[in-house]
Amino acid sequence: SIQFVLHKVSKTYSSGSKPALGPVSLRIEAGEMISILGQSGAGKSTLLRLLAGLEQLTEGTIDFEGKPLAGPQEKLIAGHEAIALVHQDFKLAHATTVELNIRQMLRGRGIPDKLIQQRTRQALQLCRLERLKERKIETLSGGEKQRLSIARAWVTKPKVLLLDEPFSNLDALHKEALSQTLRDIHQLGTTVLWVTHDAEDALSIPQKVWVMKNGKIVQKGSPQEIYTQP
Ligand code: ADP
Ligand code: ADP
């Protein structure tokens, strides 16, 4: 089923300047996995923030599951429940453990303890953090922190997981672990959308690639198609 419908969406940060994004019209199906590739300034983060409901549109409409996500006159919707955004600069609570950091996300939501335990275990497993569950945050490597940020986002069971440059600054081993994690999360039915400026990273997972340039999506295809028609 269709999850997002973007109709002639554009975003201009200051009046008179050219749009950082759009106008773009596109659809995203539930359960898709898409990597968005583009140079710095192409509008990737703007698109992610709009999809997360964290930014006001300048023009157009975004529907999420048949209802408007945000309109030009609407107020900022902070942190839409069904849609989780993992930032590049993961802000994690220090002085606590990996496991507690994940559990924390489920507190105060009326979720039974047993379910909290079960979901936390699943998140640890998915994000390859089981061996590290007792570790303090400040002892983790960049790649481990990245996976913890994803575990924290995933454990709340969003329908859509958006990631801003998840592969940046990771070595080959951490990239491989992360790519497995994203594939597993996708397999479990979550829509996964991530942005990168690195063509190799964008093409590393077999899914859809959208190429962005100057605020527009200029090419869509499989990694093979993108690779052979540069
Ligand atoms: P990318 O993520 O592809 O690097 P961005 O969406 O961050 O692209 O930026 C697209 C354009 O919009 C750039 O020209 C950037 O300078 C501008 N921009 C992004 N965020 C803001 C902002 N908060 N205020 C003003 N301009 C912004
Ligand atoms: P990314 O690394 O994802 O491309 P950017 O470096 O473009 O992100 O943006 C990082 C932060 O700076 C964002 O919060 C964005 O809104 C803000 N920003 C980007 N460009 C501008 C700009 N020209 N003026 C003001 N804020 C900006």
For ligand 2, atom 20, the nearest C-alpha belongs to: 41
pTM of the shown model: 0.88
Interface ipTM: 0.70
pLDDT value of position 129: 97
Sequence-distant (≥ 6) Cβ neighbours of residue 116 within 8 angstroms: 103, 106, 107
Integer Cα distance of 201 and 18 in angstroms: 29
Among 40, 46, 54, the mutation site with the greatest number of ligand 1 atoms within 8 A of its Cβ is: 46
Average pLDDT value for the chain:
89
DSSP-based helix, strand, coil % in the chain, nearest 5: 35, 30, 40
At 4-28, the pLDDT tens digits run 999 999 999 998 889 999 899 999 9
Which residues have C-beta atoms less than 6 Å from ligand 1? 13, 20, 38, 40-46
For ligand 2, atom 11, the nearest C-alpha belongs to: 45
pLDDT value of position 230: 55
pLDDT beyond 70 at 73:
no
Average pLDDT over residues 122-138: 96
pLDDT beyond 60 at 77:
no
